[in-house]
Amino acid sequence: MSDTIFGKIARGEIPAKVVYEDDRALAFHDVAPQAPTHILVIPRKPIPKLAEALPDDAALLGHLLWVARQVAKNEALEDYRIVINNGAGAGQTVFHLHIHILAGRPFSWPPG
């Protein structure tokens, strides 16, 4: 199983500004924020990218989105953008599935 920096964060081997955690997921601030608020939600299970999720991961995927919703609520975010980059061509750089929560500035559409 390939390991990533997020696997190390999930196991507590390297520090992160964690804002939420449970037995299946955790959320922490992005080290290079692209907006005033930029938080990542990851599964503890090291799924490399969304496309590699399995049918048995469906409930976990729903849980991650629920965690994102809860984190946004806890952070008192009203408008926010949720992003999943799937694959290098889409901007993914860390191959451990993650949801970006971005807030605190206007976001254009279509995204860059």
Give the pairing type, strands 99-103 and 25-29: unpaired
Q: Write b or e for each residue in 52-78: b if 16 or more Cβ atoms lie within 10 A of its Cβ, otherwise e.
A: ebeeebeebbebbeebbeebbeebebe
Q: Is 97 in the site for ligand 5GP (CB under 6 A)?
A: no
Active site residue 38: no
Q: Is 86 in the site for ligand 5GP (CB under 6 A)?
A: no
Out of 30, 48, 53, 75, name the contact with ligand 5GP by CB under 6 A: 30
Residues that bind ligand 5GP (CB under 6 A): 5, 16, 28, 30-32, 85, 91-94
Residues labelled catalytic = 98
